[in-house]
Structure 1
Amino acid sequence: MVSSKSVSMSSSLRRLLAPAVATGLLVAGLSVTSGTPASAAPPPAQVRQGPAQADEPWLDREQPAARRARALLSRMTLAQKVATIDQNSGTGVPALDVPPIRSIDGCCGVTGTVPTTAMPAGIALASTFGPAQARSYGRAIGEEAYKTGFNSIAGPTMDLLKTPFNGRMWESFGEDPLLNGALATAQVNGEESNDVWAIPKHYNLNNQETRRGHVNAQVGERALNEVYTRPWEMMVQHAKPGAVMCSFNRVNGRYACSNARLMRNTLKGRLGLDGYITSDFDAGHGFGDYAAGLDVSGPTETWAGAALVEAVRNGVVPRSRVNDAAFRVLYTMIESGVYDNPPPGATTVPAPPQPTIDQATLDEHDGLAARIGAAGAVLLKNQGQALPLAADDLDSLAVIGADADYYIAGGGAGAVANPANLTTIVDGITARASGVDVSYSAGVDSPGLGDTMPGPAPVPSGSLAPDTGSGDGLRGQYWTNPTFAGAPFATRVDTQVNIRTGIGSDFSSTSRVSGIGSPLNLAPMSARWTGTITAPADGTYRLSLSHLGTARLYVDGELLIDDPGSTYGTQDTAVEMTAGEARDVRIEYVADVANQFNGGLNDQAGPMIRFGWTMPDDALAPRMERAVAAAEDADVAVVVVRDYTSEGSDRGTLTLPQDQDRLVRAVAAANPRTVVVLATSGPVLMPWLADVPAAVQVWYGGQAQGRTVASTLFGDVNPSGKLPVTFPATEAQVDRIGARNPFRHLNIVNPTDRYEEGVFVGYKGYDKAGLRPLFPFGHGLSYTQFRYGNLQLRSTGRGQRAAVVATFRVRNVGSRAGTEIAQVYTGKLPRVTSPRRSLAGFARVQLEPGAATTVRVRLDRRALQSWKPRRDAWVTARGGRSISVGTSSRDISLTKRVRVR
């Protein structure tokens, strides 16, 4: 089953890439290597039969989509046009066979109610630097969306990463505009090859989750266009998405979904979007949004449905604007193939239960998830060739880490909560290490949304006991009022006092840690925790409360901390404790700060409290002691560290949660053959890096993460992933480059984030500030070695037609087959304040030992240009500049100069 769009796009892509097909390499960031074989297209479900009648010209499939859409629109009443642009909750127009819009979140897999394939997170896909991989990734998501009855997919997530604290960075493609745009283009093309349409998100500058519904991104025109809009330009022009989703935030004072300059002038005008613009979930702000360019508002029908019909009749919204919006939706439905071949149940109202996906498709996509996960694994460090491991040389192996035996994923709308075929890291290593005694120890408690808050690590569950009830932890009592009045609304044993509410805790969570949920997360509440705390060793412990709202700590009946918590912060107190001695503890908390509950889950801080401690340096909690003992008895220790992040909640710190730094140090001290596997949403601090011989970044690896990790550690796959985001050495470095933590906006109702760094985002900011990050953008090691040589540059054309092609040789000088990602960077532009180095092209090169190949990369044209605000246009910077080739933004092998005319 092939839609009209998939035919036209594939042919145009072939024309675009024709000069490079023979080399099997890459042009301007678009891969032409042979990727994963295309998934079989789903069988026809409800194909419309019969020839078009003269009075039904919209059924004539030989006609262009625009002509068919205009004919269909001409037969509609106002009410039918408004029904056509109903966001995800309408009836469509049954009389004309127009289905309702039915979208599903799908940045990293379909988030349906039936089992679907949980793909590696977007940041893992970005680490492949592989458009071919991204297209296969998108094709699988599109096929599963179709088979589960959806006609559109909210994804990919194109939020370019301004700050590493972003709680949603796991969904995205990193900090570089070219990489972001190339992979988004490929994913959208893959999705839309299945008779569905994509809805890339979130346009534009959705770069923080804290107060995302009201934050004002104050950005200059040059940075807006060169950095943040550039990926959208690539994606719109080379993938032709059916729709684009506008974001919650404001841009230079106007909400993105009410911003005519962003939507009408830029996205539909200069970039040429033919499809429609839809709001994020209730991100509209009035009927004026339609004049600004918004086409679909909702899902709450404050400015849609019957209210919109009335607004048109009263002259509040121009009828021409509704006509255009309905035309754009109809055009998308026809061009995507949805109108002629709708998904199962697509025209049934109300929507029927989602069909299950056949096992053959799930099995195929599970294999794809494993291959992409392996391609995105980044070997950060490999001292003394500690990796790969050889099962034949091992008798025992200890796997250590919270959730190494569990599904490691992020939270929020993009989270696939029901993976079809989960392989945990413990499962994967155990299966691969046949004949090896594999043990597992958690070492620490599982992280939850509370761990995104800064402050000392929470007191571990093994050191707490409730005064009533069973298990580790404290007895928690919750009231739906701020005065502890009446009987508690709920009572339970909480393993830790570590509470933060939000989308990734209460609604779309993949964490083992339970949130407190509604109504406690929506209005002022109070809570009390009681029980005992027991120290694992003699010494001075600093007990702490990190919180927003009034909090009190009692130990043995004595009040030690009493703070109103008018802003989020930490108070601590020194307590002498004796090993094994239980001390009574009581914590009282009231969420009573102004603006703590305002704006719903998009904006409110909500309840936030953590009971933490700082232990003596040589102390280990009981669970950690058991993990260290297991490491001492094993030939190799694999420590899996993770965070938990989510839509709606930025990270307050880059420190690993749950005292995992202490865990790694203790295990490394016990076993010199310690390998650290980082299953994180993005950069974290690594104060233990010098203590371990090897570290591998595997991100949130989806349902096949266990096999990804095992195949990488044991050398079945030679790691080839490269970092799509810079890893800072300290949080102070992040401040230095202007990417300050948005968590600081927690108490501000209408914050402003000033983009003072301009175009110097990510690695470009580190270069400008002269800072040495922990790992640079593009970094990634291999089990083999590659050598570069013979760089040749050719400049053609003049002015806006100027182009540069770089040709160079890459040789595998090691003993293993491997894939190298060659990166091409431009230097500073002449007569323009510009970054020291900017990614301009890249290529995935697969070579056998001793083999060499010539690589040809046509530089992205925007890398030769800058945005001129006075001319409101891109302008080629004429003159000389350096072109560099290397394995990262800081590891450059070849450099030459070229003159652009």
Structure 2
Amino acid sequence: MKQKLIYAAMALTIGAASIKAQQVPAYLDQKQPIEVRVKDALSRMTLEEKVKLCTAQSKFSSHGVPRLGIPELWMSDSSSGIREEIQWDNWGNAGFTNDSCTAFPALTCLAATWNPKMSSIFGKAIGEEARYRRKDVLLGPGVNIFRTPLNGRNFEYMGEDPYLASKMVVPYVKGLQSNGVAACVKHYALNNQEVWRGSIDVQLSDRALYEIYLPAFKAAIVEGGSWSIMGSYNKVRGQHACHNDLLLNKILKGEWKFDGCVVTDWGGAHDTKEAVFNGLDIEMGSYTNGLSSGKKFAYDDYYLASAYLKGLKDGTYPMSSIDDKASRILRLIFRTAMNRNRPWGSFTSDEHYYAARTIAEEGIVLLKNESAKKKEAILPLNGNKYRSILVVGENAIRRLTEGGGSSVLKVKKEVSPLAGLQAKFGDKVKYTMGYASGKPVYDREVAPDFNTDSLHAEAVKQAANADLIIFVGGLNKNNFQDCENADRKSLALPFGQTELINDLLKVNKNMVVVLLSGNAVEMPWIKNVPSVLQAWYPGSESGNAIANIITGEVNPSGKLPFSFPVKLEDNAAHSFGSIAYPGDGVKEEYKEDILVGYRWHDTKKIPALFPFGHGLSYTQFKYGKAVADKKNISGTEYITVTIPVKNVGNVKGKEVVQLYIGDEKCSVIRPVKELKDFQKIELAPGEEKNVSFKIGKDALKFFNETSHDWVAEPGAFKVYIGSSSTDIRSVVNFVFN
């Protein structure tokens, strides 16, 4: 009898569970396909609830549907780390004590690794930090193309070349989203300057748009599967990018079949009708300039709020528009905030510091390495040779995670370059500031709290008695430097650094210059400085990474992701007068067209100070002769080009083997050559590897404006393989039929 009662109870339990399971709405069932869940949730929502999804409810969150148990979306700024918590309704810090993050290197440094594996590690690690902080959408990565070295936000992007940026952004997005945190790729599109960023109307050809400025965004969406994208502040052909028919409807959602959400940059919406019809889904930050309010924050006054609801009710706007927007937002919520299978994440872990340091080490670029007396290179630095090492420069001690606008970070740990060098060389290292800048303030310059003449004089005095000088300078995150909302005023080093370097050289020519910046700088002193490192903004492990490179514990292998011009006028955007940059205050014409970066330097025969793809090593790599498996291809055929590369030096090192293709004769203007593939390889001393590349029709194409299609014209092509865009080691000819 007892056993029968147990079986009866079990049957009742199973039956109740079955009934309960049948009553669970489809949108709550994680086993159902997302599209089924979206459709079911949409059918249960009121019109007011659908509209509510489309706007912010706080500075960094948008609405959910509380009645149905559908949570809001929480977003975070993230250039190289998860931003500290902000107050609900203003830009003040929330005062949390548990939001000090890991600072990963700036994305220029990541791009300089030329290593997609580093992108995957970066994306996964920063995604874990975002997930731990319960963020659903990460506002990044940025993939706008470097058009001018004056752009204040270049440090947040991945360089001047669309192919390199495309290859680096895809594994970042995949690594990030493996945590159930959405990438929000930005700033779509043509946000290539900060001056007049909210109003400047960009005019450019379809070729420039499709060949230069869109490929990295397309790769993030089509190959990376990014779940969201952020519109940019500027206009494109007369319409603001956050509600732009060409960019959002025709290209993003039309040609690329994007099924995710378009999010405004904060305050990037300007018109209800355009927002409804031109592809915008979530409106954030309207009625704010990003720093202070223009009126009391009233979220119902947003362009996609009350005005949109009224228009839907009176028939001004079709119901299909809100169903599409709500479906996209629900899809994003189900992928993130309602994804019960996503991992928990982790924060400021040893693994994240290791990732930050490894990425920084692999991205640091050795620009120049000679000795003052032309006998042997200064780097790697043998500490036993020097009794005294003088470190000069404010950037040796400055926290470069502070400032920069929305990229500002509150970090748990930041090892300064001085601390990293002191850990290696101990009491041999002395420090003097040499120059100084003011505190980082978002919208103005602040004078330093020091007598800069005295700092300068003291540095020169101490340099005369030092065996070696390590000058740590560059830019910082101050206004008019590497900072949101303002472009740089010139290509020159700020704060009197050029004059200081020249005066230091007069008393001591044994110098290493370490540049911390996200942009190219002018170097009139370059012939007199033996060794120069471009170290970017390396993040939490800054000092340790720099010290490891300087001592040779890590062999530098970074390559420049953009060209360093000799002078500003050598840059393409600055070669056509102010209408090409910064514009006339209303519009701007990209007159250089597709000839951006090394494409301009090559085609116009204007030598760069340091070319795209340049970067030295502590060893030497010998390239053999490239060989193609065939001389003619047609249709869907491929040509395989193989080149032997040997480490002929004394230490293990990594080399980036770069492949460029040039079209010998074409019906339209084409650059001399364009990057079409690359491989980063590691070789022990004496080791040789054959590096092979597969080239098909797609690598030969240009965008045909007449047919609105990608076209490869028959004819002769050249394959250039080398160590940079100018250091070409072997050339192969072939014909496309």
Q: TM-score, normalised by structure 1?
A: 0.72
1:111 maps onto 2:96 in alignment: no
- Kindly indicate whether the alpha-carbon contact (under 8 Å) linking 1:208 and 1:742 is maintained by their aligned counterparts in 2: no
1:845 maps onto 2:681 in alignment: yes
Aligned equivalent of 2:27: 58
Matches within 5 A, 1:598-747: 621-644=453-476, 645-734=482-571, 738=575, 745=582
Can you give the 5+ residue segments of structure 2 that lack an aligned partner in the other structure?
A: 1-18, 86-98, 287-298, 371-375, 477-481
Matches within 5 A, 1:340-419: 340=340, 361-383=348-370, 384-409=376-401, 411-419=403-411
1:335 offset after TM fit, Å? 3.4
SS of corresponding position for 1:703: coil
Distance in structure 2 (CA, Å) of the matches to 1:800 and 1:338:
46
Aligned match of 1:437 in 428, 431, 435? 428
Matches within 5 A, 1:432-831: 432-434=424-426, 436-446=427-437, 502-503=442-443, 621-644=453-476, 645-734=482-571, 738=575, 745=582, 750-794=585-629, 801=636, 803-828=638-663, 830-831=665-666
Q: Rate the CA distance shift 1:84–1:806 in 2: closer, same or farther, 3 A.
A: farther
Aligned equivalent of 1:76: 45
1:363 offset after TM fit, Å? 2.3
Aligned equivalent of 1:188: 173
- Per-residue CA deviation, residues 287-323 of structure 1 (Å, 9 max, x unaligned), is 2222111111223342133343223212233221111
1:297 maps onto 2:266 in alignment: no
Distance in structure 1 (CA, Å) of the matches to 2:209 and 2:573:
21
- Kindly indicate whether the alpha-carbon contact (under 8 Å) linking 1:822 and 1:843 is maintained by their aligned counterparts in 2: yes
The percentage of aligned residue pairs carrying the same residue is: 33
- Per-residue CA deviation, residues 728-763 of structure 1 (Å, 9 max, x unaligned), is 1112212686486799749x5x43211111111011
Distance in structure 1 (CA, Å) of the matches to 2:259 and 2:306:
26
- The range that moved more, 73-82 or 711-720, is 73-82
- Per-residue CA deviation, residues 478-537 of structure 1 (Å, 9 max, x unaligned), is xxxxxxxxxxxxxxxxxxxxxxx745x59xxxx9969xxxxxxxxxxxxxxxxxx99xxx
1:129 maps onto 2:114 in alignment: yes
Residue 86 of structure 1 aligns with an amino acid whose one-letter code is T
Distance in structure 2 (CA, Å) of the matches to 1:381 and 1:186:
31
- Kindly indicate whether the alpha-carbon contact (under 8 Å) linking 1:388 and 1:712 is maintained by their aligned counterparts in 2: yes
Distance in structure 1 (CA, Å) of the matches to 2:259 and 2:346:
34
Q: Rate the CA distance shift 1:52–1:316 in 2: closer, same or farther, 3 A.
A: farther
Residue 465 of structure 2 aligns with an amino acid whose one-letter code is D
- Per-residue CA deviation, residues 810-856 of structure 1 (Å, 9 max, x unaligned), is 11110010000111000126423200010001111011100011212
1:71 offset after TM fit, Å? 1.8
Aligned equivalent of 2:12: none
1:409 offset after TM fit, Å? 4.2
- The range that moved more, 289-298 or 164-173, is 289-298
Distance in structure 1 (CA, Å) of the matches to 2:343 and 2:63:
15
- Kindly indicate whether the alpha-carbon contact (under 8 Å) linking 1:786 and 1:810 is maintained by their aligned counterparts in 2: yes
Can you give the 5+ residue segments of structure 1 that lack an aligned partner in the other structure?
A: 1-49, 345-356, 450-500, 515-532, 535-619
Whose strand proportion is higher, 1 or 2? Answer: 1
- Kindly indicate whether the alpha-carbon contact (under 8 Å) linking 2:38 and 2:331 is maintained by their aligned counterparts in 1: yes
- Kindly indicate whether the alpha-carbon contact (under 8 Å) linking 1:149 and 1:343 is maintained by their aligned counterparts in 2: no
- Kindly indicate whether the alpha-carbon contact (under 8 Å) linking 2:42 and 2:327 is maintained by their aligned counterparts in 1: yes
- Kindly indicate whether the alpha-carbon contact (under 8 Å) linking 1:89 and 1:299 is maintained by their aligned counterparts in 2: no
Distance in structure 2 (CA, Å) of the matches to 1:366 and 1:132:
17
Distance in structure 1 (CA, Å) of the matches to 2:447 and 2:120:
32
Aligned equivalent of 2:704: 868
Aligned match of 2:163 in 166, 175, 178? 178
- Per-residue CA deviation, residues 668-688 of structure 1 (Å, 9 max, x unaligned), is 222221100011121100111
- Per-residue CA deviation, residues 780-802 of structure 1 (Å, 9 max, x unaligned), is 00000001124233579977745
Q: Rate the CA distance shift 1:741–1:343 in 2: closer, same or farther, 3 A.
A: farther
Distance in structure 2 (CA, Å) of the matches to 1:311 and 1:811:
68
Distance in structure 1 (CA, Å) of the matches to 2:22 and 2:32:
13
Residue 244 of structure 1 aligns with an amino acid whose one-letter code is I
SS of corresponding position for 1:658: coil
Query: RMSD across aligned C-alpha pairs, in angstroms?
Result: 2.6
- Kindly indicate whether the alpha-carbon contact (under 8 Å) linking 1:163 and 1:740 is maintained by their aligned counterparts in 2: no
Aligned equivalent of 1:317: 317
How many residue pairs match? The answer is: 678
- Per-residue CA deviation, residues 373-415 of structure 1 (Å, 9 max, x unaligned), is 1100000000131101012222211100013112124734442
Residue 871 of structure 1 aligns with an amino acid whose one-letter code is S
- Kindly indicate whether the alpha-carbon contact (under 8 Å) linking 1:52 and 1:60 is maintained by their aligned counterparts in 2: no
- Kindly indicate whether the alpha-carbon contact (under 8 Å) linking 2:626 and 2:644 is maintained by their aligned counterparts in 1: yes
Residue 434 of structure 2 aligns with an amino acid whose one-letter code is G
- Kindly indicate whether the alpha-carbon contact (under 8 Å) linking 2:112 and 2:559 is maintained by their aligned counterparts in 1: yes
Distance in structure 2 (CA, Å) of the matches to 1:71 and 1:863:
44
Aligned equivalent of 1:95: 67
Aligned equivalent of 1:517: none
Aligned equivalent of 1:330: 330
1:258 offset after TM fit, Å? 2.2
- Kindly indicate whether the alpha-carbon contact (under 8 Å) linking 1:796 and 1:803 is maintained by their aligned counterparts in 2: no
Residue 528 of structure 2 aligns with an amino acid whose one-letter code is D
Distance in structure 2 (CA, Å) of the matches to 1:840 and 1:256:
29
Q: TM-score, normalised by structure 2?
A: 0.87
Distance in structure 2 (CA, Å) of the matches to 1:890 and 1:365:
36
- Kindly indicate whether the alpha-carbon contact (under 8 Å) linking 1:685 and 1:728 is maintained by their aligned counterparts in 2: yes
SS of corresponding position for 1:863: helix
Residue 670 of structure 1 aligns with an amino acid whose one-letter code is V
SS of corresponding position for 1:381: strand
Whose helix proportion is higher, 1 or 2? Answer: 2
SS of corresponding position for 1:827: strand
Q: Rate the CA distance shift 1:70–1:267 in 2: closer, same or farther, 3 A.
A: same
Distance in structure 2 (CA, Å) of the matches to 1:257 and 1:798:
43
Aligned equivalent of 2:267: 282
Distance in structure 1 (CA, Å) of the matches to 2:573 and 2:317:
47
1:712 offset after TM fit, Å? 0.8
Aligned equivalent of 1:306: 306
Distance in structure 1 (CA, Å) of the matches to 2:647 and 2:272:
60
- Kindly indicate whether the alpha-carbon contact (under 8 Å) linking 2:572 and 2:595 is maintained by their aligned counterparts in 1: no
Aligned equivalent of 2:11: none
Q: Rate the CA distance shift 1:417–1:893 in 2: closer, same or farther, 3 A.
A: same
Distance in structure 2 (CA, Å) of the matches to 1:267 and 1:794:
38
Residue 334 of structure 2 aligns with an amino acid whose one-letter code is I
Residue 459 of structure 2 aligns with an amino acid whose one-letter code is A
- Kindly indicate whether the alpha-carbon contact (under 8 Å) linking 1:334 and 1:340 is maintained by their aligned counterparts in 2: no
Aligned equivalent of 1:877: 713
Q: Rate the CA distance shift 1:143–1:864 in 2: closer, same or farther, 3 A.
A: same
Q: Rate the CA distance shift 1:82–1:829 in 2: closer, same or farther, 3 A.
A: farther
